[in-house]
Chain A
Amino acid sequence: MSREEDLKYADLTAAIKRRFDPILTEPIPARMYLKSPPWIDYARAAAVLTIGIAIGLTAPMLKPAPSPANLAALQLPIRAARAHVVYSPEVRHPVEVDAKDQDHLVKWLSKRLDIPLKVPVLVQEGFELLGGRLLPGADGPVAQFMYQDATGKRLTLYVTPTRKGERLTSFRFAKEGSVSVFYWIDDECNYALSGEVDKATLAKVASLVYKQLES
């Protein structure tokens, strides 16, 4: 079956995605924040006691569990890829503010993110700015800029302010489904460039973004 079958049902699959994909960017209800079950508290208390004794006896060589600071780096490419999947196929409303109002776009998003934003120019790699939009992030607003090349291929740049104590990350690559993502975290912002393009193409554009933003 497979390919022919998949083609036969492509419309249906697309309709299912169109209907339910927006749920991906809805804020998560507070009741879903993970709470540790009671036994974990006991286990943790026991671990703390053991560690306390160990620290007293030896120089600790403890490997820390992923802290909230590291989690941001784990989640960034996933969130960025999701936002890409939801908004990049939009035909009529890919962006909230069009690139022809770029001054307004940058002022508005800088104000909402409370950080001066720069919009990279990617024309030398064939991508022009379409515009941008404001999105809900894990714990605050996110700016998404969208670019398009002559063939209609789209890339999105996902930008959110770096929180205090968040660990900085150098240039990294991740693949989420069919979406490739290059991301990094500097002391001001988390950045992620996403697109359904091959790694080499995205790497070229991403390094251009990186150069312009980090200079």
Chain B
Amino acid sequence: MDYQLIVPYIPNLRRYARALVGDRDGADDLVQDTLERAVRKFHLWRPGDLRAWLFSIMHNVFVNQLKGRKVSPSVEIDEEMIAAHIPTVDSVDVLDLERALVRLAPEQREVVLLVALEDMSYAEVSKALGIPIGTVMSRLSRGRERLRRLVEGEPARTELRVVQ
């Protein structure tokens, strides 16, 4: 069937999901839910940008999954405490990177990752996430800046909440 056209994009969806969700099982669940939905809705796809269409479905599934959880984990974390435990390194360390990504707000994480991993343009990200181009640009610049600071081990000032 035509929906087999999706197959070549599965590795891209898995790569993005792993970066977005953090753990392997959670990421593969996200991919599988996305694929099931894409196959079910494939008749709605009009020949055009299949990649953007698939990523928009993954975005919707991801947002629904976040809503399903009561509290987004990035809010509950005491950032100063974590920063104190991260060993300092010169280059971008893999563990630091993954830890930093998890601590980025989900809506910034999506934009940063679509641009970094998929080389998407603002217009493509805007289509995939269903947000205006201006929002894409501001989330990208704030997200990248925050990620850079997190990776470098500086405690982020924004969205800081003290947990007692």
Interface residues of A (CB under 8 A from B): 1, 5, 9, 11-13, 15-17, 19-21, 23-26, 28-29, 31-32, 34-37, 40, 44, 65-66, 68, 71, 74-75, 78-79, 82, 177-178
Contact = CB atoms under 8 A, between A and B. Distances in A.
Interface of B: 1-8, 10-12, 14-16, 18-19, 28, 31-32, 35-36, 39-40, 92, 94, 97-98, 101, 112-113, 115-117, 119, 137, 141, 144, 147-148, 151
Contact of B2 (A24, A66, A68, A177): A66
Given A12-B147, A17-B116, A36-B39, A24 B3 contact: no
Contacts of A177: 119
Given A36-B1, A66-B4, 8 more contacts: A16-B101, A23-B14, A24-B11, A26-B11, A32-B10, A36-B3, A40-B1, A74-B8
A31 B97 CA distance: 29
Contact of B4 (A32, A34, A37, A82): A34
21 contacts: A11-B92, A12-B92, A13-B116, A15-B151, A16-B97, A16-B112, A23-B14, A23-B15, A32-B28, A32-B31, A32-B32, A34-B4, A34-B7, A36-B3, A40-B39, A65-B1, A65-B2, A66-B2, A71-B4, A75-B8, A178-B119
Given A20-B19, A79-B8, A32 B35 contact: yes
A75 to B, nearest CB: 5
B14 A34 contact: no
Query: Closest 7 CB pairs between A and B?
Result: A15-B92, A23-B15, A16-B116, A78-B8, A24-B11, A13-B116, A75-B8
